[in-house]
Chain A
Amino acid sequence: MSDFPFLLAMIAVPAVGAAAVTALPKGREQTARQLSLGVSLVVLLLAVLATIAFDVGGERFQLTTSVSWIPDFGVDFALGVDGIALVMLLLIGVLVPVVVVASWREEPTGRRSMRAFWAWLLLLESLMVGVFAATDVFLFYVFFEAMLVPMYFLIGSFGGPRRQYAAVKFFLYSLVGGLVMLAAVIGLYVVSANELGEGTFAFDALRQVEIDPGVQKLLFLGFFVAFAIKAPLVPFHTWLPDSGAEAPIGGAVLLVGVLDKVGTFGFIRYCLPLFPDASRELAPYVLVLAVAGILYAALLAMGQSDMKRLVSYTSIAHFGFIALGIFAFTTEATTGAVLYMVNHGIATGLLFLVVGMLIARGGSRLVGDYGGVAAQAPLLAGVFLVAGLASLALPGTNSFVSEFLVLIGSFPTRPVFTVLATVGIVLAALYVLLLYQRTMHGPPRGVLLEPAPEAPAPTTGGGGGATAATATLEAPAAAPARLRVRDLSRRELAVAAPMVALVIALGVYPQPLIDLIEPAVAATMSDVGADPAGVSPEAPVEGTD
């Protein structure tokens, strides 16, 4: 069973699916949707089977496949997963079908065909799997960069009013980071050629290479910049609110849920094991960025009037937590960080989805255009609340476990940073609850108000994030205001239900995931030379924000 090339299949199936969708004749929108759903479910199934085939106590990298690809560069098409990559593949497997169903009624802007949307989505899935499954640094880089293209088209072709700006900004930020990483990738190859006699890109071989500390620092920075842009950490973050706000909801979910995780995944997989000395030396600076991000993004989130931008800023704050967990160098904190990556994908994904459902009803992205929705649409409000509480890491939701692990694991080595980070939890409660209160409770107001009887206007549209924010704010002068809003449809329930279930289930019983993650994290910690018991050899306190 474990001989089956799961990873190859998980890359190939969506890629073939994308080609098939492209090849469909014009007008077969329904077929395209169904095909996409089918393909994404197959990938989910493969991910689950791969998890079953994965031996938790076994080798570090399993389900490996390796084919020589470009022998002149010493590049292999080498795939394999450790526990960390595997949980990310599971996350992809879950999120993509959910996104497909959530985008079911997505209408194209202009005269574009939605077939392109489905094709790009499936291609993106294929490349996302590849980026987590690659065990060859060159191959990783190729997937890392190629992944930009489908996302670029998803934002640019199907996004909101400022989609061109957002798409180009997204692409250029990521490309610059990627190119700096490319220099480091080549540098790594050259270093390995000097050390081993023959250059290699294989992760396992590179791990053995002893690199001079000065060179290590340069290479670390090359990788770090790319990942910090991707993740995003604070000074490199400005592209995310734009992209998150302008992307179609499905794209936004995958963007913050999976794509950005490549950054934090890259810290764990590449920065720490390959450049242990540099990682230890530079960790305090990274932690400054992480904690600054937690606080700064939380404050900005509170100030947002656009719901999608707000959710994007909350993500930046969460990425601060993840980075804190990773660079605290304890098994506990890093396990928490990896778990956080999964949980954030689910919690923030759900929050994006439910915000998208609200926007689909009102056609506006502004917080101020909604109010009192809970009275008319209790299910919608309920899901909104669950998503919100999961985002602020309430005990009993999935995020709590991971946030707690990060904080408790970081405290022994980095008490000051950890204490500062906990302030972020309070801020998170503020921005989430304020958002919920303003939109769901209070007097009915905003774009969903029932229009005066003589001038009926359609207020419920399926435009998703694509329709422009055309808010008409005049309220009827007389008569008690009523909202006209329908509650969740069956399709929307099908989107929300599995996500809510995961929020609760992983909040109550996260052990299976932790079991998967922990050995890989422990191996990484031993690579980086940190004491897994939790006491760092370094002086614990350095500059703070």
Chain B
Amino acid sequence: MIEAPDLSLAALAPLLFVFGAACVGVLVEAFAPRDVRHPVQVAIALVGTLGGLVTSLLLAGERQVTAGGALAVDGPAVFLEATIAGLGALSLLLFAERSLDPARSAFVAAAAVPAGSPRDRELMTAPRVQTEVYPLATFAIGGMMLFVAANDLLVMFVALEVLSLPLYLISGLARRRRLLSQEAAVKYFLLGAFASAFFLYGLALVYGATGSIRLSAIREASAGEAGGGVLLVLGLALLVVGLLFKASVAPFHAWTPDVYQGAPTPVTAFMAACTKVAAFGAILRLLYVAFGTSEWTWRPLVYGIAIVSMVVGAVLGLTQTDLKRMLAYSSIAHAGFLLTGVLGYGSGPDGTGSGLGPTMFYLLAYGLTTIGAFAVLTLVRDGDGEATHLSQWAGLGRRSTLTAAVMALFLLALAGIPLTSGFTGKFAVFRAAIDDGAWPLVLVALLASAVAAFFYLRVIVLMYFSEPAVDGPTVGVPGLPTTLVLAVTVTATVVLGVVPGAVLDLAEGAARFVG
């Protein structure tokens, strides 16, 4: 006789909301007439993600394992689900912006039409807009939320694919510079497929070593085995590689600059913020829950990779001349800083790693800032679309004081200057790491921050202290969605820098894994 697995629908409400919205979106795409599709799709996607946000906030304090033990609904899961849903909603708003591009959308009207063909040129000026991106992005958001809540490796793998496949697709949908965008999508897909394969292989090895795919069971099995076993360590390494790829941590970062540059900017914002949160959520859960007792196996690995990532991100960032690529390297460096927080494991009792709360706070702060920064990028345009080359930003402070000021704020936050959210986050993760004795790592991190500060400053220098070019880009007047995104992200960047107490409390209070 087969027993039905226990299933708490209330605890799954955030996921149900988002996946539900995605499914409805697919139906709308099939049945609704073309001229009403756009507003309807935007509304459905927003309702889904905001519903996910609200329900996950309502779940705060919940601690249980449900769906037959496959899903964990605990502090970190709920906090990160809310973060992903919130950041996802902001990204969707950027998707929905229609007043910046003269072609009314950042997305190609018909992705299947070959780039440069007569039909493509025809569509360039047509009023038709793409609406499939909304259900696709909503599926990705759902996948991410599932990813951070997955309590066994197989569900984690399924979530990884659910979040990845739509991302591969929407990276290739840029309306302008289509070939670059398609190249980015293919590159992302190929490398992403490799990473998935790594993950799957690691899963198999871990299953072989421990006889279970349940995280808590792996924990028990690995604790029992004194040496950990070659299979287990190898499996762990492969799993971590798969996850680090998604988190764009060097040396698994090769795709990041190309994909960030090629993808439509709203999609880049979405990837930079949400994918990072999801990937780190999974890394935290895997390392803390499944391998929390065999910390020695992953600690040196993560330690080394954190250093590599910070150094690679900061140093290569210096040489970039394209703002989107620069922000990509910045995101690699930030991934290194985040790993510093992950290393702050161990000083707290019963799995409440002291690095967990700070890392989650950092993810939220970084996500908000980075979405804001990419939103500003969508505003600065010339006849050829977005003007992302550094030289085109010369004298922007003169052209549009407000845009330049907002960008300067985001850059200072990314550089970690006090009174911005970036500083609070950095301080929190560095404190956790030093607490755990990793002060050499923190010194490296601080030096990397100083190097990275140089390229953020360079943009500020260009915007404020340089004379504007004669045929420079113009600053578009954002419509309601982008304005809303900028307002939220600016406010959050300042508030989380000046009075971060409440949110820090929330993250700290949520920092307990179940299982």
Contacts and interface: CB of A to CB of B under 8 A. Distances in A.
A229 to B, nearest CB: 12
Contact of B446 (A69, A145, A146, A180): A180
Interface in B447-464: 447, 449-450, 453-454, 457-458, 461, 464
Contact of B427 (A112, A180, A182): A182
A167 interface: yes
Nearest to B424: A70
Given A153-B464, A168-B461, A179 B439 contact: no
Contact of A172 (B412, B450, B499): B450
Contacts of B430: 182-183, 186
B418 A145 contact: yes
Contacts of B431: 73, 186, 189-190
A490 interface: no
Nearest to A147: B418
B466 interface: yes
B442 interface: yes
B435 interface: yes
Contacts of A110: 398, 467
Nearest to A182: B446
Nearest to A177: B450
B321 to A, nearest CB: 17
Contact of B453 (A71, A163, A175): A175
Interface in A133-182: 141-143, 145-146, 148-149, 153, 156-157, 163-164, 167-168, 171-172, 175-176, 179-180, 182
Contacts of A180: 443, 446
B500 interface: yes
A114 to B, nearest CB: 14
A149 B466 CA distance: 17
B434 interface: yes
B225 interface: no
Contacts of B443: 180, 183
Interface residues of A, number: 35
B465 A70 contact: no
A157 B397 CA distance: 11
Contact of B508 (A72, A168, A193): A72
A186 B453 contact: no
A5 interface: no
Given A69-B501, A70-B500, A71-B501, A172 B465 contact: no
B457 A70 contact: no
| Most chain B CB inside 10 Å of its own CB: which residue of A71, A141, A171 | A171
Contact of A72 (B415, B466, B501): B501
A149 B500 contact: no
A183 B442 contact: yes
A146 B498 CA distance: 12
A294 to B, nearest CB: 29
B302 interface: no
Contacts of A183: 430, 434, 439, 442-443, 446
A110 B467 CA distance: 8
Interface of A: 69-73, 110-112, 141-143, 145-146, 148-149, 153, 156-157, 163-164, 167-168, 171-172, 175-176, 179-180, 182-183, 186-187, 189-190, 193
5 contacts: A110-B398, A149-B417, A179-B449, A186-B427, A187-B434
